[in-house]
């Protein structure tokens, strides 16, 4: 028996099957109508099949973007709701295909990140932000990962400074970094400077524009290192 090709992963096999099912969705009733298997296979790969699926995809964009064409938005909702069962099945397979295309990239991104270990445990709230920031990066959402990384650092600082459950405390991230420096939550001045620079970079992304994956990786890596330090420290003024 020949060895399996190491470059063929389960995601590739599933992607091939998902794409086939997506195309067949348009013509699932053709066989009952008397069409031959060959005729169905030919139709599944026809331009009409792809056009119909592209039409469903285009209508779904009305849920993901802001449109000035109100008629398009209303018509999209009307069609997707009127043919809810078919739309659901098509979108189900469509999303399956889209996610499966990203699997190998997600794996590569996840392998770039180091594990997080510290002497002190983080709160559930802090871990939630860390988890979502990491997930956003792995899924290829750089802007979301940066915004959530900033929030994760803020929660980590509040956690260690005993401020997380204080609803009256509205300190800015800059003030929290200053307090963390006072309480020796960072290993040295280099880490403090890294936290200040990271805050500037995150604010730039939030207020000024997009960021690419490599820049997002740099930011999330710095934040994870800072969080590791924060929960490995012994706070003291």
Return mean pLDDT, the chain.
82
Same domain, yes or no, for 103 and 124? no
Q: Which domain holds residue 101?
A: 10-109
Per-residue pLDDT of 80-110, as tens digits, reads 787 777 777 777 777 888 888 899 999 999 9
189 falls within a domain = yes
Both tokens of 58, joined, read: 């285009």
18 falls within a domain = yes
- For the chain, the 3-state helix, strand and coil shares in percent, each to the nearest 5, are 70, 0, 30
Calpha distance 143→136 (Å, rounded): 9
* Domains identified in the chain, total number: 2
Same domain, yes or no, for 101 and 165? no
Calpha distance 76→55 (Å, rounded): 10
Alpha-carbon Rg for the chain, nearest whole angstrom, is: 25
CATH number at residue 158: 1.20.120
Choose the final residue of a domain: 80, 109, 138: 109
Among 207, 224, 200, CA closest to 145: 224
237 falls within a domain = no
Same domain, yes or no, for 74 and 133? no
Contact (Cβ atoms closer than 8 angstroms) between residue 119 and residue 227: no
Per-residue pLDDT of 105-160, as tens digits, reads 999 999 999 888 888 888 888 899 999 999 999 999 999 999 999 999 999 999 99
Same domain, yes or no, for 214 and 183? yes
Same domain, yes or no, for 88 and 148? no
Choose the final residue of a domain: 92, 109, 126: 109
List CB contacts of 125: < 8 A, sequence separation 6 or more. Answer: 155, 159, 164
Same domain, yes or no, for 67 and 128? no
Choose the final residue of a domain: 77, 109, 141: 109
Q: Which helix (H) or strand (E) holds 36?
A: none
């Amino acid at each position: 028996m020949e060895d399996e090709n190491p470059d063929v992963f389960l995601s590739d096999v599933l992607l091939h099957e998902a794409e086939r099912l997506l195309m067949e969705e348009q013509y699932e009733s053709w066989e009952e109508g008397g069409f031959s298997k060959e005729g169905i296979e030919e139709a599944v790969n026809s331009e009409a099949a792809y056009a119909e699926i592209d039409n469903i995809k285009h209508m779904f964009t009305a849920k993901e973007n802001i449109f000035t064409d109100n008629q398009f938005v209303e018509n999209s909702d009307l069609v997707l709701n009127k043919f809810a069962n078919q739309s659901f099945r098509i979108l189900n397979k469509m999303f399956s295909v889209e996610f499966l295309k990203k699997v190998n990239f997600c794996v590569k991104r996840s392998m770039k990140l180091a594990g997080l270990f510290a002497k002190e445990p983080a709160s559930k709230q802090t871990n939630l932000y860390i988890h979502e920031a990491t997930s956003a990066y792995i899924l290829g959402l750089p802007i979301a990962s940066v915004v959530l990384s900033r929030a994760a650092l803020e929660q980590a600082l509040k956690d260690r400074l005993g401020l997380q459950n204080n609803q009256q405390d509205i300190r800015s991230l800059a003030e929290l970094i200053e307090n963390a420096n006072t309480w020796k939550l960072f290993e040295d001045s280099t880490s403090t400077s890294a936290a200040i620079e990271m805050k500037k970079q995150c604010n730039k992304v939030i207020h000024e524009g997009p960021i690419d994956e490599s820049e997002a990786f740099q930011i999330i890596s710095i934040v994870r290192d800072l969080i590791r330090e924060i929960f490995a420290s012994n706070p003291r003024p």
